[in-house]
């Protein structure tokens, strides 16, 4: 741990170190976003192709996607489009430019999304948990996210949408901290673009008074975007093709249970290949979160309390990423767990947090250690480390939430209030 006196020092060397940390993170991501004329992002091409079809009034869920894909990207395998119809406005905007230009813009915006993510999370931490000003907290958070989380670089290179979903998760946290319902509605709408990562948040938001109105607005906006996405030449056929594509998702090698983290990875390994469908898992996840909220309500948890709401949202996002099948680059939303670090007080939970963070941040790097050993392929090792890492991160989050559920005597509440007042005092 870096001594507090160094973090708060006003010396030129320390100030320069903060600037260097932030610029190093930005430079690292900038080189990942730099246009590569010999490579086109694996994931982004699907958003560009689908947007092109939507702009022409067609559907991206039928065979037209593969036909267009082979014409624009010859020699490249084109999978079906698995994302929901609510992506139409974003995909259409991306397809207004030529593929290479659109890719560069997408990558640049991905980097800026991580900058804003670090800025929003730092704003919450600097005011609630650290006696450190916003800029210094931002420099530390951004450097940690950009330089330590391997999936950040990969997401920028392959054109993943997860940087924007990570920003949405951070914006939701910030909106709860600031009690900004408008930002909360936008953040929830953005999170619903990837339902498997947001079903937990939606279930939990039903029990948080502040989030109920933003949740209703987000659901209405998502329904509207879905209708707009299906407003093509043959909407019924487009919807049928969309459902058909979802059923084909596991047919592709990269989407097999052993190559993705989550509940299915565990059951596939333990029960000889048994897995649950994404729809079943989504329903299970939503019901599980609702049950957890009912238990907390029975324990007299103050759902209107800002600190409790923040912890709940972190728990539910981590639970969603742990249960639902996810690739390593989908786990970027777990960076919001950085807000747990200053609040974990017990040694066992600190160990869980540190090991879990290491596994999630560097699972691809750690998998190299097993490269020369007989056994599963590297992708399976990555999925195993991601699954264990998410479970370990979830443990301190749940523990912290349960501690907040325990009643405190008046003198303890008074003492806690004094400690929090001292913690958010300005450092510079």
- DSSP for 245-257? HHHHGGGSGGGSG
Residue count of the chain, please give it.
Answer: 428
Number of domains observed in the structure of the chain: 1
The secondary structure of residue 261, as a DSSP letter, is B
Taking the C-alpha atoms of residue 160 and residue 167, their distance in angstroms, rounded to an integer, is 13
Taking the C-alpha atoms of residue 420 and residue 410, their distance in angstroms, rounded to an integer, is 15
Taking the C-alpha atoms of residue 118 and residue 47, their distance in angstroms, rounded to an integer, is 26
Q: What is the pLDDT of residue 273?
A: 76
Give how far Cα 322 sits from Cα of 15, 255, 360, 419, Å.
38, 16, 11, 33
How many Cβ atoms sit within 10 Å of the Cβ of residue 365? 12
Of 159, 142, 166, nearest in space to 28 by CA: 142
Identify whether 249 is part of a domain. yes
Give the tokens for residue 170.
């951070």
Matching residue, tokens 């479970």: 391
Identify whether 193 is part of a domain. yes
Of 321, 287, 289, nearest in space to 401 by CA: 289
Q: What is the pLDDT of residue 292?
A: 83
Full residue range of the structural domain in which residue 397 is found: 7-423
**Average pLDDT per run of 10 along the chain, which is 428 residues long?**
67 88 92 76 89 94 92 87 94 93 92 96 87 88 92 89 94 95 96 86 89 94 95 91 87 83 85 78 84 80 84 90 85 90 90 93 84 71 91 92 69 45 41
Give how far Cα 333 sits from Cα of 26, 27, 36, 256, 360, Å.
19, 22, 26, 21, 11
Identify whether 119 is part of a domain. yes
Identify whether 2 is part of a domain. no
Give the tokens for residue 351.
């160990």
Taking the C-alpha atoms of residue 261 and residue 331, their distance in angstroms, rounded to an integer, is 9
How many Cβ atoms sit within 10 Å of the Cβ of residue 382? 24
Identify whether 1 is part of a domain. no
**CB-neighbour burial class of residue 249 (10 A; exposed 0-12, middle 13-18, buried 19+):** middle
Identify whether 75 is part of a domain. yes
Identify whether 292 is part of a domain. yes
Coil/strand/helix, residue 8: coil
Identify whether 428 is part of a domain. no
What residues are paired with 326 via a beta bridge? 261
């Amino acid at each position: 741990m870096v001594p507090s006196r160094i973090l708060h020092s006003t010396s030129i060397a320390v100030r320069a170190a903060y600037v260097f940390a932030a610029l190093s993170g930005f430079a690292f991501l900038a080189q990942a976003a730099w246009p590569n004329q010999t490579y086109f992002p694996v994931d982004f091409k699907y958003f560009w192709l689908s947007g092109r079809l939507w702009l022409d009034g067609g559907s991206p869920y039928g065979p037209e996607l593969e036909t267009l894909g082979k014409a624009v990207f010859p020699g490249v395998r084109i999978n079906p489009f698995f994302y929901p119809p609510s992506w139409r406005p974003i995909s259409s905007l991306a397809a207004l430019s030529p593929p290479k230009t659109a890719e560069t813009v997408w990558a640049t915006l991905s980097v800026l999304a991580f900058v804003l993510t670090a800025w929003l999370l730092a704003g919450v931490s600097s005011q609630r948990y650290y006696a450190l000003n916003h800029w210094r907290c931002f420099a530390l958070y951004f450097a940690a996210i950009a330089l330590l989380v391997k999936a950040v670089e990969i997401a920028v290179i392959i054109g993943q949408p997860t940087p924007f979903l990570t920003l949405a998760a951070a914006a939701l946290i910030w909106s709860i901290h600031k009690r900004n319902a408008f930002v909360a509605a936008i953040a929830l709408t953005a999170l619903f673009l990837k339902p498997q990562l947001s079903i937990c948040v939606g279930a939990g938001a039903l029990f948080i008074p502040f989030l109920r109105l933003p949740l209703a607005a987000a659901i209405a906006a998502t329904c509207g975007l879905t209708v707009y996405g299906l407003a093509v030449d043959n909407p019924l056929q487009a919807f049928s093709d969309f459902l058909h594509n979802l059923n084909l998702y596991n047919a592709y090698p990269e989407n097999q249970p052993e190559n993705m983290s989550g509940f299915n990875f565990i059951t596939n390994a333990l029960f000889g290949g048994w897995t649950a469908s994404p729809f079943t898992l989504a329903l299970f996840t939503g019901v599980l979160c609702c049950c957890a909220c009912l238990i907390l309500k029975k324990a007299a948890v103050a759902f209107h309390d800002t600190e409790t709401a923040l912890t709940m949202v972190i728990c539910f996002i981590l639970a969603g990423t742990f249960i639902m099948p996810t690739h390593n680059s989908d786990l970027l939303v777990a960076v919001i767990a950085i807000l747990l670090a200053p609040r974990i007080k017990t040694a066992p939970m600190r160990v869980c947090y540190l090991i879990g963070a290491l596994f999630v941040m560097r699972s691809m790097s750690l998998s190299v250690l097993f490269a020369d050993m007989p056994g599963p392929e590297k992708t399976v090792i990555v999925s195993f480390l991601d699954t264990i890492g998410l479970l370990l991160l979830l443990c301190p989050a749940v523990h912290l939430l349960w501690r907040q559920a325990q009643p405190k005597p008046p003198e303890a509440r008074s003492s806690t209030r004094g400690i929090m007042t001292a913690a958010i005092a300005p450092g510079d």
